[in-house]
Amino acid sequence: MSTAVDDDLWSAIGDPVRRTMIDLLLAGGPGTATSLSERLPVTRQAVSKHLAVLDRVGLVHSAPAGRERHYQVDQAQLARAVAQLSAVGTAWDARLRRIKRIAEAIERDRNNDQGE
Amino acid sequence: MEHGSIERDIHVDASPEVVFEVVSRPEHIREWWSDDARFEPVAGAPGELMWCDAETGETMTAALAVVEVDPPKRFSFRWCFTGADRSGPALLVTFDLAPAGAGTRIRMTETGFREMGWEIAALEEQYRDHESGWDHYIPALGAYVARPVLTA
């Protein structure tokens, strides 16, 4: 049932700037707030705030690098997020198969009743 | 492609009237979805879906609100509200029923993921672009998938 999906994780990933940041980090390897801000239409301060949100939900990890921090994507956490969402679709497939089975059983019962 | 929704079609060998009962009545929803369901199938009516964890005995309740009841054509409701007392963005589930041959075609759509920040397809596409990472982490995923993130 999908309320079990981690809401904080999804609001973290729901922001388009943060998704672009994840994409940049996946494609280009670890980055800093400065290196990311050079490739995004937002300030370094804004990038830092977004990185903090991603860090809080475990989508990125950081390590000190001189005066800055190097951030990289936690691919296991990202994979977990993707798995949760494909599970939403799979869950509906299962529910619809049960709806079909129940409705067809009711229909057969009614037809049998009428035939007797 | 709409990134913020899930769509499913299924054919059922039963009349739209029967299918409508199954998708819209709490006594049937208990059979195909939650452990318990309580609501009046009336537009605007509040309700609850409930799940019991057999191991811990804990009950989880999800609020829902009936949106449209138009037998035997359409039943829709909102759930997964982000705010208290059925407020804020929520997912909208719609069952559209159409006669098909001797049976019924159900089209189920669940929308609102975008508003809630759940961009399924965008994420999946992103992931396909990084297949090496995906392959690499499939083994790590096992532990997560084994967790009952979603019960059907």
Q: How many CB atoms lie under 10 A from the CB of residue B108?
A: 19
What does the pLDDT read at residue A65?
Answer: 86
pLDDT digits (tens, 9 = 90+) for A18-69: 878 988 898 888 999 999 999 998 999 999 999 998 998 899 999 998 888 9
What does the pLDDT read at residue B113?
Answer: 66
What ipTM does the predicted assembly reach? Answer: 0.74
* DSSP string computed for A58-97: TSEEEEEETTEEEEEE-HHHHHHHHHHHHHHHHHHHHHHH
> Which has the closest alpha carbon to A92: B95, B86, B128, B103?
B95
What does the pLDDT read at residue B52?
Answer: 84
What does the pLDDT read at residue A36?
Answer: 94
How far is residue B5's CA from residue A88's CA, in Å, rounded to a whole number?
11
Span between the terminal Cα atoms of chain A, in Å = 41
Please count the structural domains in chain A: 1
Domains of chain B, first to last: 5-116 (3.30.530.20), 118-147 (no CATH)
pLDDT digits (tens, 9 = 90+) for B1-11: 344 567 888 99
Confidence class for position B47, pLDDT limits 50, 70, 90 = very high
Does pLDDT of B81 surpass 70?
yes
State both tokens at B96: 């559209």
Question: Are the beta carbons of B8 and A97 separated by less than 8 Å?
Answer: no
pLDDT (average), residues B71-91: 88
pLDDT (average), residues B76-103: 89
What does the pLDDT read at residue B6?
Answer: 77
What does the pLDDT read at residue A85?
Answer: 63
Does pLDDT of B127 surpass 80?
no
A67 CA to chain B: closest CA distance, Å?
29
Residue from B19, B111, B149 whose CB has the most chain A CBs within 10 Å, to mutate = B149
How far is residue A59's CA from residue A25's CA, in Å, rounded to a whole number?
11
Q: Which domain holds residue A24?
A: 2-115
Higher confidence at residue B53 or residue A43? A43
Q: What are phi and psi of A3, to 5 degrees?
A: -70, -10
Does pLDDT of A6 surpass 80?
no
CATH number at residue A104: 1.10.10.10
Residue from A57, A95, A101, A114 whose CB has the most chain B CBs within 10 Å, to mutate = A95
Contacts B122 to A, Cβ<8 Å = 19
- The C-alpha angle with vertex B132 and arms to B126 and A77, in degrees rounded to 5, equals 60
Does pLDDT of B139 surpass 50?
no
**Count of alpha carbons within 13 angstroms of residue B92, beta-carbon side:** 16
Prediction pTM value: 0.62
- Identify the H or E element spanning A112: helix A75-115
**Count of alpha carbons within 13 angstroms of residue A41, beta-carbon side:** 2
Confidence class for position B83, pLDDT limits 50, 70, 90 = confident
Q: Number of residue pairs across A and B with CB atoms under 8 Å?
A: 149
